Amino acid sequence: MTKPLKQIHLAAHFPGVNNTTVWSDPRAGSHIEFSSFAHLARTAERAKFDFFFLAEGLRLREQRGRIYDLDVVGRPDTFTVLAALAAVTDHLGLAGTINSTFNEPYEVARQFATLDHLSGGRAAWNVVTSWDAFTGENFRRGGFLPQEARYERARTFLRTACELFDSWHGDEIAADKQAGVFLADPRPGRFSHHDAHFDISGQFDVPRSPQGRPVIFQAGDSDEGREFAASSADAIFSRHGTLADGQAFYADVKGRLARYGRTPDQLLILPAATFVLADTDAEAADLAHDVRLQQVSGATAIAFLEQLWNRDLSGYDPDGPLPEIDPDVGEHTIARGRASVRMHRDPLATARDWRAKAAAENLSIRELIVAVTGRQSFIGSASTVAADIDKLVQADASDGFILVPHITPGGLDEFADKVVPLLQERGVFRTEYEGSTLRANLGLEPLPGKAVPVQSGFSRAAS
């Protein structure tokens, strides 16, 4: 018996403030003007993508005590730009990364509920936990949260926000002019939540939104992060985009669902993916190499090396050999505000591997960094790329991909024009949006809404 074909989910990630984004290309446009956001969102909607995705970082990154200036720097406020994009799109989901440490549930819940209303049910929230004191310096509470408490706060933040979303059931507004009854319930939106992180009560002021609540994404990679996703998220934004790695992650996370009484179709796995397209596979391979060189300048190569070595290596020649000295394994001080630094879990071992590779292949620092960091996920002609994407999804390495173009804002145009029609021909990607909400387009069950009786439900305040 053959398995039915899985339908692929695709999203467009606005190019980020990291070296994937090639700002030096002559075609590279503004990273802050609204026209760039509108261009990418419209391309994504033209291609029938599920959603548009925005990352967030609340402090400019630093390296060697200075603001890091080699990548794109600067981005808009997530909610504000997504609300504006709702005006220039009709079907596209609008996913925003919003931190659970330097925000409060009441405000975030009213922002997401508002975005969901103003987009007709297209809002999604990527719940991230960046907690560091460095970022905290921009906020009232400073670096108040220890690292080990980040997911406890995220869990209870999300639970609290959901209590706020659910505090209105959807049948409170009568708006009956004749009878003079606006509200069917004199005290709508009651909530009361008391735990170690949040001690709040009252009435929520945004009535129930079209989706009930935003679609929930999670992007942490630790065991705790995966558990959080298994218990509470609708989708995961992961880094595991290759076949073997993707399959392992997919099996791991989907395997955690049963414990929470959930089924595998209730959590989508969507890794980040980059792509390089050309007329032939050979041309694409050449182009991919050129793009890698653009992404890793000599200065960027040194900066990457410093992030592993945790030392000032500004005196080294990027076209020369790797440093003889070992990484400093003490407290990480060289780069701040960069989540990826913690990916180097054993810097000494990684440095040993890098040295061995550089020696074996006679690589300079820059060549080594090009080789060990971020090769593009999909490289080839449109038909090769379509086939590769389909293969990974059908093999349960993912349920689709969040595509990160390397050129702003036109970097998705060619994919939309050439690859998407091939996926549609294969019968694995929609030709029309299935529903009006993001939940519907992601194939997620609608949330129970109106029918909940006023007296019951886990979130109702006692009073």
Binding site for ligand FMN (CB under 6 A): 55-57, 97, 99, 128-130, 219-222, 224-225, 237-239, 272, 339
Which residue's CB is nearer to ligand FMN, number 313 or number 392?
392
Q: How many residues does the chain have?
A: 463
- Please report, for residues 45, 98, 120, the alpha-carbon distance to residue 216 in angstroms, rounded to integers and kept in the order given: 21, 11, 17
Does the protein bind another protein through residue 297 (CB under 8 A)? yes
Residue 130 interacts with which of ligand FMN, another protein, none, CB < 5 to 8 Å by class = ligand FMN
Distance CA 312, CA 334 (A): 7
Does the protein bind another protein through residue 86 (CB under 8 A)? yes
Instruction: List all residues 6 or more positions away from 55 whose beta carbon is below 8 Å from its beta carbon.
Output: 13, 14, 16, 17, 97, 126
| Choices 114-122, 225-233, 234-242, 396-404; region in contact with another protein by CB under 8 A | 114-122
Residue 168 interacts with which of ligand FMN, another protein, none, CB < 5 to 8 Å by class = another protein
Does the protein bind another protein through residue 198 (CB under 8 A)? yes
Does the protein bind another protein through residue 32 (CB under 8 A)? yes
Does the protein bind another protein through residue 152 (CB under 8 A)? no
Dihedral (C-alpha) 222, 224, 229, 232: value to the nearest 10 degrees? -160
Is the dihedral angle over the CA atoms 29, 35, 36, 42 positive or is it negative?
A: negative
Distance CA 304, CA 343 (A): 12
CB-CB contact of 303 with 63 (8 Å): yes
Q: Pick from 314, 285, 288, 291: which is nearest to 301 by CA?
A: 314
CB of 132 to another protein, least distance (A): 13
Q: Which residue number has the CB closest to ligand FMN?
A: 220
CB of 150 to another protein, least distance (A): 18
Distance CA 72, CA 68 (A): 9
Which residue's CB is nearer to another protein, number 218 or number 300?
300
Distance CA 193, CA 163 (A): 8
CB of 248 to another protein, least distance (A): 34
Residue 129 interacts with which of ligand FMN, another protein, none, CB < 5 to 8 Å by class = ligand FMN
- Of 27, 77, 90, 356, the one binding another protein by CB under 8 A: 77
- Please report, for residues 54, 82, 123, 377, 406, the alpha-carbon distance to residue 51 in angstroms, rounded to integers and kept in the order given: 10, 11, 9, 20, 18
- Lookup: tokens for 437: 């909400």
Distance CA 365, CA 301 (A): 7
Residue 80 interacts with which of another protein, ligand FMN, none, CB < 5 to 8 Å by class = another protein
CB of 337 to ligand FMN, least distance (A): 9
Which residue's CB is nearer to another protein, number 7 or number 294?
294
Does the protein bind another protein through residue 106 (CB under 8 A)? yes
Residue 310 interacts with which of another protein, ligand FMN, none, CB < 5 to 8 Å by class = none
Which residue's CB is nearer to ligand FMN, number 59 or number 262?
59
Tell me the β-bridge partners of 62: 67, 336
Residue 140 interacts with which of ligand FMN, another protein, none, CB < 5 to 8 Å by class = another protein
CB of 339 to ligand FMN, least distance (A): 5
- Of 27, 146, 147, 187, the one binding another protein by CB under 8 A: 187
For the chain, the first-to-last Cα distance in angstroms comes to: 56
CB-CB contact of 10 with 400 (8 Å): yes
Does the protein bind another protein through residue 34 (CB under 8 A)? yes
Which residue's CB is nearer to ligand FMN, number 63 or number 130?
130
Which residue's CB is nearer to another protein, number 299 or number 325?
299
Distance CA 316, CA 326 (A): 14
